[in-house]
Structure 1
């Protein structure tokens, strides 16, 4: 359904942390953010926008798995190179679900098999979870980030909420706790079609430097060029006043995932800002390296007063 190149990143000296490493460059950065909602799976309340949902359940049982040695505020990046694929390094994403209904919450079931062909049941903690699951519409107008539940036999169940009709792609991001892939960040992907009256492909919003999301003003400062490294700063304010009460979410003050327009190449980064309790902000520092030029759609998630906010971001990389 799609061809792409997964971004493969690792921060030197932190082999078990996902990062988008980067160096400064002169290409102008422009972002457009549109409010995205959170599904009822998140605790503490949600924000909503059709097609943009976020929910999470607790990760299911695992035969083993050790914490990833989290350093406060340090991100880590999904590794793996090549087109989005259901196989990588001997691991495979297996699912009988090729079509899903639209307009209601539904179950997507899958397993991850290892090089021996057997379902993997041991997953290491990665940003407080053993599995991160993403559902992304082909035109990037739909996005859900879920934390599915695993049964004892290794079957995971994610429950996307009200997917819009059309072509989607799902991504499973995880770290095996043992075996050939122990400690390695892996991302596997499969296509899925959502039945119903497909509205067709929507144009990607034009880049912009800032946007208001759920009453918050989000501004991005930085410059990016494909394949190089540069700093990125996200600032959050409300009513003209800096926001200083960002709460930890998945062990950081913000969660940021990126998909390349057209081929859905995947990238994942977190702020470098140290987590010091329920008083993060207003500025969040990131390092970013996106492998190819063009438009990327970023999904920034942050929490205040127990409520999760999601902003869709169009990033142009030179």
Structure 2
């Protein structure tokens, strides 16, 4: 009980510290987030917060060759076995990888309209090659995003579009939310509050995403399981899928049914956010849309 009370107090305290900081950073008369990025702090609260998010990380010259297991580029709607070969900047296969959040590779797959989302963890098969099974509900274009740490170097993110053969469906548009988000997914009721509020989000601004998860039937708070070494993950993509952010939960601000993330949206536009949590051994993905002003 004391531990929960302490974490709750810490959450309230940090929120009280961060809210004026957020307002200060978003005003025209003070330091902006871009200046913090140019001259990043090495200690203190801003340093801690910046370590918890990952925005548009470079491919560092590495590339991933994606194909079907038969060696061809032809992929069809339905279940597909993928081969992913990682090459270093000189074109040679990478043979040494370091775990990141308990996995050697994270593979994010989204459809062109962002209506389909998968977060997979390919198996390493040796000689720079990973294998994964992905499900493509329909034909069309899909974005593959691979995250890995090669040769004991820094986190590396590669992106590529692949075309899936099969019947295509009409694309759906993003619908930005307003106020506090309320949604039910896989038996969990999620209340998502955002600071600053959803109608005031600006590019480069420090943003807090706070998820409160309860049982959809009883309304009682749930006890989440750790997911990939943390309380939750958020993957964020803009409408054009060229701005990518992957955020891990803030450990000291997350416990039980409450999970908090810190992030910043790199540019103006519409974004989809996929919150990912584990409950009773199952991964639950909670999406919602936002619109970010310049």
Global fold match (TM > 0.5)? yes
Deviation at 1:143, TM superposition (A): 0.8
Return the structure number with greater strand share.
2
Partner of 2:88: 114
- Aligned to 1:199, the other structure's residue is in SS state coil
Secondary structure at 1:107 match in 2: strand
Deviations 1:67-112 (A, max 9, x none): xxxx9xx73425535xxxxxx3221122345441112x11121211
Contact 2:176 2:291 in 1 (8 A): no
Distance in 2 of aligned mates of 1:311 and 1:232:
13
> What whole-Å deviation, never above 9, does each CA across 1:49-83 have from its counterpart, x for those lacking one?
xxxxxxxxxxxxxxxxxxxxxx9xx73425535xx
2:63 matched residue in structure 1 = 92
2:279 corresponds to which residue?
Answer: 304
> Displacement of 1:231 after TM fit?
2.2
How many Å separate the matches in 2 of 1:313 and 1:132?
Answer: 21
Instruction: Tell me, yes or no, if the aligned pair for 2:176 and 2:270 is still in contact at 8 Å.
Output: no
1:232 aligns with 2:209: yes
Runs of 4+ in 1 over 6 A off after TM superposition: none
Q: Between Structure 1 and Structure 2, whose CA radius of gyration is higher?
A: 2
Map of 1:254 onto structure 2: 232
Deviating more after overlay: 201-210 vs 288-297: 201-210
Aligned residues: 239
Instruction: Quote the residue 1:282 is aligned against.
Output: 257
Partner SS, residue 204 of structure 1: coil
Secondary structure, aligned partner of 1:263: coil
CA distance in 2, matches of 1:275, 1:147: 27
> What's 1:270 paired with?
248
CA shift, 1:207, in A, is: 1.8
Which gives a bigger RCO, structure 1 or 2 (Cα 8 Å, sep 6+)? 1
What residue in structure 2 maps to residue 175 of structure 1?
A: 149
Does the CA contact (< 8 Å) of 2:233 and 2:247 recur in 1? yes
Alignment of 1:1-318 (within 5 A): 24-25=22-23, 75-77=52-54, 80=57, 88-97=59-68, 98-103=73-78, 105-178=79-152, 182=153, 184-208=154-178, 209-222=181-194, 223=196, 224-238=201-215, 239=217, 241-274=219-252, 280-318=255-293
Cα distance change of structure 1 residues 191 and 79 upon mapping to structure 2, 3 Å threshold: closer
Deviation at 1:191, TM superposition (A): 0.8
Are 2:230 and 2:248, in contact at CA under 8 Å, matched by a contact in 1?
yes
* Closer/same/farther in 2, CA of residues 127 and 317 from structure 1, 3 Å limit: same
Structure 2: give runs of 5+ residues left out of the alignment.
1-17, 27-47
CA distance in 2, matches of 1:78, 1:288: 8
Return the structure number with greater helix share. Answer: 2
Residues of 2 paired with 1:25 and 1:258: CA distance?
22
Alpha-carbon distance in 2 for matches of 1:199, 1:156: 30
> What SS does the corresponding residue of 1:77 show, helix, strand or coil?
strand
Find the aligned partners of 1:242 and 1:294 in 2 and give their Cα distance.
Answer: 36
Are the counterparts in 2 of residues 134 and 172 from structure 1 also a CA contact under 8 Å? Answer: yes
- Distance in 2, Cα, partners of 1:146 & 1:213: 19
Check whether the contact 1:245–1:281 (CA below 8 A) recurs between aligned residues: yes
